[in-house]
Structure 1
Amino acid sequence: MIYQRVVRPALFRIGGGDAEAAHHTTMGALSRLGRVSPALTALRRWNGADDPTTVFGVDFPSRVGLAAGMDKDGVALKAWPALGFGFVEVGTVTRHAQPGNPRPRLFRLRDSGAIINRMGFNNEGADALATRLAALGPVGVPLGISIGKSKVTPVEQAVGDYVHSMRALRRFADYVAINVSSPNTPGLRGLQDRAMLDELVAALQAESDETPLLVKIAPDLTDDALAEVLQVCTDHGVAGLIATNTTLSRDGISARDAHLAAEAGGLSGRPLTARARDVVAFIHREAPDLPVIGVGGISSPDDATRMLDAGASLLQLYTGFIFGGPPLVRSINREIGRARPARRRGRAHLSPPS
């Protein structure tokens, strides 16, 4: 309750309510926290989770991870495990450093428990991230790295762009996520089309050096398009999928937030809950042996357990963490940890997916 009553209101007031200013302030604080070992130890003892699992050959201390987009350049990597995360995904990073889209580009929809962003892959570039990770050393939990296409790179040259990032970063990654689903880079979502995805995945698989590859998909794909993505992934032995990215839909936005619905960008958070779960369920039904990281609208322990019931092997938080903070991570870890025996028996441990 302290987070909701004290910490979150203070964060949301930073910069006169500017969401991106609050984000940078938070990242700076977490970066400094990562240099204070006694504080990290104490926090990890308090927030620590006991729900180990192995997915695509990687050992995870818990199923709850931080989604890409929060710590794009890996500036606060030492802090996230102390807040209860069992893995962290940095990025999305691109071959070329880029500033992203003009500000403002990040909007909170408080009544809807949602965010609209059109950040545009703002990051320091793959080579800069590689330098930072080399200096940092082990994070303490599995590290995923999300890679995407630079805005300046034509779509027809996208494969080389991704390959450069893969070569620069694969040695630091426990898995690499291929982001072809952000709505904020022109032409990117076209890479989900079967022929283009086939070429991209084949090239990255050849460069992976056995690093597990995952494909991150949009929630807006039709069932037929999802089936084609699954076919490409199974044809090339992709390790798993991340479902889902943000949506272009504006369904589920409350009347109080309607004035923000016209903002361009991807919508994340509570309005995406049901659709993300449906996509995970579709993948699990059509390709039951393909692991899925479920992400999208997980705002409570019940959302988390329903996502696991739908077929997710792991979970990621982004918008839910912004609104719920570390207490949300802790409560989800505790809930799914208590439900572990039922899950191992292959039974639904709370409500079935709706």
Structure 2
Amino acid sequence: MTVAGIRFPNPVGLAAGVDKDARAVAGFLGLGFGFVEVGTLTPKPQPGNPKPRIFRLPEDRGVVNRLGFNNGGIDAALARVAALPRPGIIGINVGANKDSVDRIADYGSAVAKAAPLADYVTINISSPNTPGLRDLQSQPELGQLIAASDAARHVGGKRVPLFLKVAPDLSREGLEVAIRAAIDGGIDALIVSNTTISRPATLRSANAQETGGLSGAPLASLALAKLIEAREIAAGAIPLISAGGIGSADEARRRLDAGASLVQLYSAMVYEGPGLARRIVAGL
């Protein structure tokens, strides 16, 4: 399938947050993923939030994390990407440093550095673990951010595809604002969605109330609902990529049938193991 001018060998991708520093791209592609998204990468290295900061919810097949964009900085990761023999489709997910005084400039700088090496670049403004980051999902900041990122993505006459990742906690009105800004700003695809700060009443695990973003199976119904909302709002004007709670071929098919062109997973591998991508692709 082709999305944003990129031919993907299969629709199952590895979401950002697993290979934060681009240390295992070839290995993940070797597990059967059609594409791997590295990052989130910030302009400067940062340690992230204090530990402990990631918690399993085994009874719910979920995870809560409050990692906080821990990474070694974009320059170090891009050196690893540059050394790869281009084994497959590589997306680079970028964000702002926690202590940044100009987050829009951070994104512009990161996009400019990532674009020469990426098949696509994702602007991540949806993590709940960097204070104030999600405010960038609202206008006028969102329009300014997209404009800065758009200006930075041109490399030698090539317009590198630019994706936008939004939170599942946006209201329908907030999602409408984000999608309109993405379409007007020339964003090539929308990733719906990141982790949620909400907590379903059905959670049973002792770690359920830990602060951070919830992912895995408990996120599935919300992620699907937001995908359907996005499909209704976008009306085919922008491709959609679904992430959140995908742990089987049936769930992946549900997202594709609901309007996604591609899917991404992460937390399900904690419970399903490294063969999950191949099983989903085979099931599809």
Aligned to 1:238: 187
Aligned to 1:46: none
Correspondences of 1:122-133 after superposition (within 5 Å): 122-133=70-81
For each residue in 1:143-190, what CA deviation from the matched residue of structure 2 results, as whole angstroms up to 9, or x when unmatched?
A: 111101101103xx1111111111211111111110001000011000
Determine if the alignment matches structure 1 residue 144 to structure 2 residue 104: no
For each residue in 1:21-70, what CA deviation from the matched residue of structure 2 results, as whole angstroms up to 9, or x when unmatched?
A: xxxxxxxxxxxxxxxxxxxxxxxxxxxxxxxx111100110000000000
Correspondences of 1:261-340 after superposition (within 5 Å): 261-287=208-234, 288-336=236-284
Matched residues, number:
279
For each residue in 1:242-287, what CA deviation from the matched residue of structure 2 results, as whole angstroms up to 9, or x when unmatched?
A: 01000001115532x0x21221100001111011111111111221
**Residues of 2 paired with 1:135 and 1:175: CA distance?**
17
Aligned to 1:193: 138
Letter in 2 for 1:165: A
**Residues of 2 paired with 1:203 and 1:254: CA distance?**
40
Q: Secondary structure at the match of 1:238?
A: coil
Higher strand share: 2
**Residues of 1 paired with 2:201 and 2:45: CA distance?**
34
- Runs (4+) of structure 1 exceeding 2 A deviation are 252-255
- Match for 1:174 among 116, 119, 123? 119
> Is the 1:253–1:261 Cα contact (8 Å) retained in structure 2?
no
**Residues of 2 paired with 1:178 and 1:236: CA distance?**
13
Letter in 2 for 1:121: F
> Is the 2:62–2:267 Cα contact (8 Å) retained in structure 1?
yes
Determine if the alignment matches structure 1 residue 109 to structure 2 residue 57: yes
- Match for 2:149 among 204, 222, 225? 204
- Match for 2:178 among 229, 238, 255? 229
> Is the 1:146–1:179 Cα contact (8 Å) retained in structure 2?
yes
Q: Secondary structure at the match of 1:294?
A: strand
Letter in 1 for 2:88: V
Provide structure 1 residue ranges, at least 5 long, that are not aligned to the other structure.
1-52, 337-354
Q: Secondary structure at the match of 1:264?
A: coil
Determine if the alignment matches structure 1 residue 66 to structure 2 residue 6: no
Letter in 2 for 1:135: A
Letter in 2 for 1:153: S
> Is the 1:127–1:165 Cα contact (8 Å) retained in structure 2?
no
**Residues of 1 paired with 2:214 and 2:201: CA distance?**
10
Q: Secondary structure at the match of 2:22?
A: coil
Letter in 1 for 2:82: A
> Is the 2:216–2:268 Cα contact (8 Å) retained in structure 1?
yes
Identity of matched residues, %: 46
Letter in 1 for 2:110: S
Change over 3 Å in CA distance of 1:79–1:164 after alignment to 2: same
Per the normalisation by structure 2, the TM-score is: 0.96
Letter in 1 for 2:260: A
**Residues of 2 paired with 1:184 and 1:331: CA distance?**
31
Correspondences of 1:24-103 after superposition (within 5 Å): 53-103=1-51
Higher helix share: 1
**Residues of 1 paired with 2:112 and 2:103: CA distance?**
15
**Residues of 1 paired with 2:202 and 2:207: CA distance?**
9
Q: Secondary structure at the match of 2:164?
A: strand
Letter in 1 for 2:121: V
Per the normalisation by structure 1, the TM-score is: 0.77
Higher relative contact order (CA 8 A, sep 6+): 2
> Is the 1:64–1:315 Cα contact (8 Å) retained in structure 2?
yes
Aligned to 2:106: 161
Q: CA-atom RMSD, angstroms?
A: 1.1
**Residues of 2 paired with 1:262 and 1:335: CA distance?**
34
Q: Secondary structure at the match of 2:256?
A: helix
> Is the 1:95–1:149 Cα contact (8 Å) retained in structure 2?
yes
**Residues of 2 paired with 1:322 and 1:108: CA distance?**
9
> Is the 1:280–1:310 Cα contact (8 Å) retained in structure 2?
yes
> Is the 1:67–1:88 Cα contact (8 Å) retained in structure 2?
yes
